[in-house]
Amino acid sequence: MIDEKQLAELSLPGAPRILTEPPGPQSRAILEYQAQNEGSAVSYARGLPMAVARSRGATQVDADGNIYIDMFSGAGVMALGGAHPEILAAAHAQIDEFTHTLDIPSQTREGLVETLKGLLPRELTRIFFGGPTGSDAVEQALKLAKWNKKRNGIIAFEGAYHGMTGASLAVTTDSGHRDGVGELVPGVSFVPYAYSYRNPFGCPPEETDLYAARWLDRVLRDSHSGVSKPAAVIIEAVQGEGGTIAPPPRFLQNIRRITQEHDVLLICDEIQCGLGRTGRMFAFEHSQIVPDIVTLSKALGGLGFPISAIAYREELNTLPPGKSIGTFRGNMTAFAAGKAALEYMVREDIPGRAALLGEKLLARLKDCEARSAIVGEVRGIGLMLGIELVKDKTTKEPAPALAAKVRTLAHRRGVLVEVGGHFNHVIRLLPPLVITEELAFKAADIIESAIGEAEKAGCL
Ligand SMILES: Cc1ncc(COP(=O)(O)O)c(C=O)c1O
């Protein structure tokens, strides 16, 4: 396993370093240009107002020379951090040869398929590449499930995030994304996830996952539930945008058993929680189950190159040729970088490192939960951690303004975090898996002090 010293060489020294309170003048000018010329839906630049100039390992430099500790890695995309030399070399070598082939094969393509197949459970024999983004993989997975089962329905979970396009938006829950954009793809039903902190069943919190699984079983079993038998259930083994919710392994075990009993396919969306982030190569491995279809994207592009894929069982391989085509089904730079990234992850046991550092960071942040009047719960697994902020620990009233303030204060002090959760009240931590312990703990100190300051400022 790679050691701290080697990891430190991937990032810039001296982080965090704030020379000018962000956004400084250079960043402001670029942000202003963006505001005047790009679409009004631009999002991340509002919460983290900065213009990026450089990215190395778990550090980012803005246009004014400020150096940040990156605790978000571009929503989990940059799992191996910025400009990883080994991945960069693979990408450069590929760019010089060829970069686009539709789905016409090449050794580069074969290389990624082979590498992925070597990591996935052996039951998932087939890989299919979607368009360039995660939503495309979800579209493919849903289409494959519906085609095979000759049913239209899909069951997803409350708090789910699966994407922004047609069917992927329809299985995403956030009304902020869904409302006012016309009719969504029909046939989708939602059931409760195992969100024990906001347990919807009134049962002991540690039994929330059992009740949630039973709920799904009831919906599928009861002919009067109002839900026709679906083609598939789609689930994130660890919910990301929904507020970093990591149920116990038996939850997914029960969902797998129930879907099998009802002849419904199980799609595990590993776009955020997959590829090492939770301490295993795939988050469903914590439950020792094998899904029918798995979606992948984000970290699969090695250095943020666009790519998405699904992996599935042999018996589902029934789509006739041309039934699912598209121009961008093979960004060869992404394929080369992805293969190099996966090989590096295996060789250096990056998932193992994510597990070890994740445990330490979770314990560090749990201290913060114990000390703070407004940290309702710190949770997560591996390097996928969340801090749920509340106005009051007894009422658990969510504190979205406070979360936004913490993001701003942390940014000003040189740490990049994002918010998510059902009420936009959860600080989400998705650092590059190559972050050093030293940087991760510095970031934790800064986040804790930002929480303290936001609380004092009374922005509840
Ligand atoms: C679990 C999950 N599925 C799907 C998506 C959609 O991916 P993309 O934004 O690349 O379309 C995301 C994005 O955050 C995600 O977290």
Decide whether any atom of ligand 1 lies within 6 Å of the 45 Cβ. Answer: no
The pLDDT tens digits for 267-320 are 999 999 999 999 999 999 999 999 999 999 999 999 999 999 999 999 999 999
Which pLDDT score, from 0 to 100, does residue 460 have?
A: 55
Q: How far is the CA of 155 from the centre of ligand 1 (A)?
A: 17
Which pLDDT score, from 0 to 100, does residue 1 have?
A: 84
* 127-132: average pLDDT: 94
User: Could you give the CA distance from residue 249 to residue 56 in angstroms, rounded to a whole number?
Assistant: 34
pLDDT at 237 > cutoff 90: yes
Pocket test for ligand 1, best of 164, 236, 298, 419 (most atoms within 8 A of CB): 298
The pLDDT tens digits for 371-409 are 999 999 999 999 999 999 999 999 999 999 999 999 999
The pLDDT tens digits for 44-85 are 999 999 999 999 999 999 999 999 999 999 999 999 999 999
Task: Give the closest residue to 407 by CA, choosing from 460, 454, 456, 457.
Answer: 454
> What's domain 4-77+350-456's architecture?
Alpha-Beta Complex (3.90)
pTM, rounded to two decimals: 0.98
Class of domain 86-347 as given by CATH? alpha beta
Q: How far is the CA of 315 from the centre of ligand 1 (A)?
A: 26
Decide whether any atom of ligand 1 lies within 6 Å of the 130 Cβ. Answer: no
Which pLDDT score, from 0 to 100, does residue 256 have?
A: 98
Which pLDDT score, from 0 to 100, does residue 28 have?
A: 98
* Sheet with 426-429, edge to edge strand ranges: 375-381, 384-389, 426-429, 418-420
Q: How far is the CA of 223 from the centre of ligand 1 (A)?
A: 33
* 135-149: average pLDDT: 98
User: Could you give the CA distance from residue 402 to residue 389 in angstroms, rounded to a whole number?
Assistant: 7
pLDDT at 459 > cutoff 70: no
Q: How far is the CA of 148 from the centre of ligand 1 (A)?
A: 24
Which pLDDT score, from 0 to 100, does residue 458 have?
A: 77
User: Could you give the CA distance from residue 383 to residue 72 in angstroms, rounded to a whole number?
Assistant: 10
Pocket test for ligand 1, best of 72, 168, 236, 271 (most atoms within 8 A of CB): 271
**Buried/exposed 237-272: b ≥16 CB within 10 Å, e otherwise:** bbbbbbbbbbbebebbbbbbebbeeeebbbbbbbbb
Q: How far is the CA of 208 from the centre of ligand 1 (A)?
A: 25
| In the chain, domain spans | 4-77+350-456, 86-347
